[in-house]
Amino acid sequence: MEASGEPGRQWQEEVAAVVVVGSCMTDLVSLTSRLPKTGETIHGHKFFIGFGGKGANQCVQAARLGAKTSMVCKVGKDSFGNDYIENLKQNDISTEFAYQTQDAATGTASIIVNNEVKTVFNPAPAIANLDPRFYTLSDVFCCNETEAEILTGLTVSSPADAGKAAQVLLERGCKVVIVTLGAEGCVMLSQTEPVPKHIPTEKVKAVDTTGAGDSFVGALAFYLAYYPNLSLEEMLKRANFIAAVSVQAAGTQSSYPYKKDLPLDLF
């Protein structure tokens, strides 16, 4: 067997720099002119199957930027599960800890763990009474506007609001809090710099913003693992840029850029 010929295998003897614990979901997407009423059957004009799941999305984005990644997940022992494992391999992600089970997969949160060094926690979907240990145990707590609202009970619709919500989350014990704001970029706050800072992003023509947050978190994990000397602000500027590229194409993983398609000054 050729050691280099088989995607996925080559990482198994190497240490992954970005390890993602989270969901792998198969998206069954039907395009219809409207939603069916209860019990109604309607015609769709297009159907496709996509690879999704917030954990896997983040892992794929980090891998496409060049990170050595490993996905810790469980998929079904069925054709969708087999296809998903193959998709991870195609993206050069180690599947050493990608398990298959007869039981239905469950998943409520996705966590990125960069072993030993830094943990990034993405509370998706968010619940109001999140176990307080998630705040104290994560190095970087990254959520979007909706999640920040659910977690804090505050309204978040501007960078200033996001800063206030981030301060509440910081007080719960996070070392760094990032709130993403769609086309407004993100807001950051840390124990060492507790004044909220807004990091705007470029104006782009958004085609499909699905999975932008996962592209952003995957890119951030890549920079934390491979460019630890960059300031957090610089990492977030670059993650904003990469996520903005992803919103300019349709689909979730299909819109995530590879290193080769990005400006050299990002690396």
Ligand X SMILES: *[C@@H]1O[C@H](CO)[C@@H](O)[C@H](O)[C@H]1NC(C)=O
Amino acid identity at 203: K
Q: Which of 121, 216, 222, 256 is the binder for ligand ADP (CB under 6 A)?
A: 216
Residues found near ligand X in the complex (CB under 6 A): 124-126, 144-147, 182, 229
Closer to ligand ADP at the Cβ: 181 or 224? 181
Nearest residue to 65 (alpha-carbon basis) of 199, 250, 251, 246: 246
Under the criterion CB under 6 A, does residue 61 sit at the interface with ligand ADP?
no
3-state secondary structure of 38: coil
- Single-letter amino acid code for the residue at 215: S
Beginning with the edge strand found earlier in the chain, give each strand of the sheet holding 197-199 in spatial order: 98-101, 69-76, 18-21, 110-114, 118-122, 140-144, 176-180, 186-190, 197-199
| Shortest reach from residue 5's CB to ligand X, in Å | 31
Check: CB of residue 49 under 8 Å from CB of residue 25.
no
Catalytic residue among 83, 92, 103, 214: 214
Residue 200 contacts ligand ADP per CB under 6 A: no
If one asks whether residue 180 binds ligand ADP (CB under 6 A), the answer comes out as yes
Listed in order, strand segments (DSSP E) in the chain are 18-21, 25-31, 46-52, 69-76, 98-101, 110-114, 118-122, 140-144, 176-180, 186-190, 197-199
Determine the Cα–Cα distance for residues 30 and 6; give it in Å rounded to an integer: 33
Q: Contacting ligand ADP (CB under 6 A), which of 42, 49, 204, 249?
A: 204
Tell me which of ligand X, ligand ADP, none is bound by residue 159, counting a contact when its beta carbon lies within the kind-specific cut-off of 5 to 8 angstroms.
none
Question: What is the maximum alpha-carbon separation in the chain?
Answer: 57
109's contact among ligand ADP, ligand X, none, with CB below 5 to 8 A by partner kind, is none
Contact between 223 and ligand ADP per CB under 6 A: no
Q: Does 214 qualify as catalytic in the annotation? A: yes
Three-state secondary-structure class, residue 230: coil
> Among residue numbers 107 through 146, which ones bind ligand ADP (CB under 6 A)?
144
CA distance to 27, 52, 257, per residue, from 251 (Å): 10, 10, 12
Candidates 5-13, 78-86, 165-173, 201-209; binding stretch for ligand ADP (CB under 6 A): 201-209
Binding partner of 113, given ligand X, ligand ADP, none, CB within 5-8 angstroms per partner class: none
Q: Looking at beta carbons only, is 85 or 232 nearer to ligand ADP?
A: 232
Choose from ligand ADP, ligand X, none: what does 125 bind? Cβ within 5-8 Å by kind: ligand X
Q: Give catalytic residues, as residue numbers.
A: 214
